Amino acid sequence: MKNFILLFTILILVSTVNTLPSDNKNKFVLVIHGGAGATPRDIPEELQSQYLKSLTEALIIGKNILSNGGTALDAVEKVVNYLEDNQLFNAGRGSVLTSEGKVEMDAAIMDGIDLSAGAVAGVNKIKNPISLARLVMQKTPHVMLISNGAENFAKEMNVEFGDSSYFLLDSQIDKWRDIKKKMNENKKGTVGAVALDVNGNLAAATSTGGMMMKRPGRVGDVPIIGAGTYANNQTCAVSATGWGEKFIRNNVAVSISKLMEYKGVSLKTAVNELINNILQPNDGGVIAIDKDGNYSMMYNTKSMFRGVINSDGFLEVKIWE
């Protein structure tokens, strides 16, 4: 029944967006992810509905911005804000915990217009790390600020903080205790968004609590421009999810862009090369959009929470193949 209601809601939403203009000039595309991993197909129906509903709501937030002529940059930031506030995902509230049972979040945002980028790493009190990353991009001459330095800058910028009761969810603490016992979990569930706006600009944003049980101080691929996040109006915008160290070593996000630029291959071919030939099975996945609005949501894990919406009224949210 719940699934039916969800499907029905999606159909209504799709028919609403169908009224949007579909000529190239007013074309927009938004693709999101909520993490790649090994979500079993038999998760409770109720939980599955919650995930699909959350992904749909995130897409609608972005669609409302893009269909009103808003920028790709605003769309990816606001969509990621929503996913950071949503406890289902490993970013902002709901972030996974380090081996010491604390939250340490990373985030990055990039504007394809001029390759400007901002990132924060190892922050544990910022409610929306992606918005702080955008302030780093727009209000400092730097690309990345970390831990205390980032949080002092956030105070100057009057950014909203959350205390430990905001971040430390009982569910995460229970999971942390369980995993501490087993010590074999490779938890994944980062969030990300890439968008093409009606002016042909691309942007990417990614936010995460990182890997479950990571060492304090560990920084993953997400805030590293070119590894987990990249956008360039000449080629594509990319947001990654998965085993961060692999994405850093292989410079995954920028490699997709460079393959397109240097070899003239399509987005699909470039993404396939990185996900299926350079990375190994179960390493993760990416969402990507090229400058013409072609998009890809490819992963080599068992599942990836993901969704797409565009100006032709197409909307899709999925967890498995």
Longest dimension (CA), the chain: 56
Nearer to ligand ASP, 107 or 196 (CB): 107
Which one of 56, 242, 251, 271 is in contact with ligand ASP (CB under 6 A)?
242
Give the span between the Cα atoms of 225 and 135, in whole angstroms: 16
Other beta carbons within 10 Å of 65: 23
Site stretch for ligand ASP (CB under 6 A), options 42-50, 132-140, 206-214, 257-265: 206-214
Return d(Cα 224, Cα 243) in angstroms, integer: 13
Binding region for ligand ASP (CB under 6 A) out of 17-25, 54-62, 239-247, 306-314: 239-247
With H, G, I as helix, E, B as strand and everything else as coil, classify residue 300: coil
Question: Per the residue annotation, which of 39, 56, 98, 190 is the catalytic one?
Answer: 190
Which range in 80-88, 155-163, 193-201, 241-249 contacts ligand ASP by CB under 6 A? 241-249
Tell me how many residues contact ligand ASP (CB under 6 A). Answer: 15
Q: Which of residues 127-166 bind ligand ASP (CB under 6 A)?
A: none
Name the nearest CA neighbour of 111 among 253, 237, 223, 262: 237
190 catalytic residue (yes or no): yes
User: What character string, x for contact with ligand ASP (CB under 6 A) and - otherwise, covers 81-110?
Assistant: ---------x--------------------
Instruction: Give residue number: closest CB to ligand ASP.
Output: 244
Q: Which of residues 4-43 bind ligand ASP (CB under 6 A)?
A: 35
The contact mask relative to ligand ASP for 170-199 (x = CB under 6 A, - = no) is ------------------xxx---------
Report, in Å, the least distance between residue 229 CB and ligand ASP: 10
CA distance 135 to 118: 7
Q: Classify each residue of 213-224 as buried b or exposed e, where b means 16 or more C-beta atoms within 10 Å of its C-beta.
A: bbeeebbbbbbb
Residue nearer to ligand ASP on the CB measure, 71 or 241: 241
Out of 244, 274, 290, 296, the only residue in the binding site for ligand ASP (CB under 6 A) is 244
Considering the complex, state which of residue 118 and residue 189 has its C-beta at the smaller distance from ligand ASP: 189
- For residue 78, the tally of other CB atoms under 10 A from its CB is 21
Question: Residue 269 and residue 186: Cα distance in Å, rounded?
Answer: 28
- Among residues 94, 112, 122, 228, which is the contact residue for ligand ASP, using CB under 6 A? 228
Closest separation between CB of residue 212 and ligand ASP, Å?
9
- For ligand ASP, the closer of residues 69 and 216 by Cβ is 216
Distance in Å, CB of 75 to ligand ASP, minimum: 21
Question: Toward ligand ASP, which CB reaches closer, 81 or 190?
Answer: 190
283 binds ligand ASP (CB under 6 A): no
Closest C-alpha to 32, from 241, 263, 276, 258: 241
Give the distance, in angstroms, between the CA of residue 78 and the centroid of all CA atoms in the same chain: 11
What phi and psi values does residue 144 have, to the nearest 5 degrees?
-135, 135
Q: Which residues of 186-199 are buried (b: 16+ CB within 10 A; e: fewer)?
A: ebbbbbbbbbbbbe
Cα-only R_g, the chain:
18
Site string for ligand ASP, 208-227 (x = CB under 6 A): x-xx--------xxx-----
| DSSP per position, 170-229 | HHHHHHHHHHHHH--------EEEEEE-TTS-EEEEEEE--STTPPTT---STTSBTTTE
Q: Any idea which residue has 């099975």 for tokens? A: 281
- Active centre residues (catalytic): 190
Q: Interface with ligand ASP by CB under 6 A: which residues?
A: 35, 90, 188-190, 208, 210-211, 220-222, 228, 241-242, 244
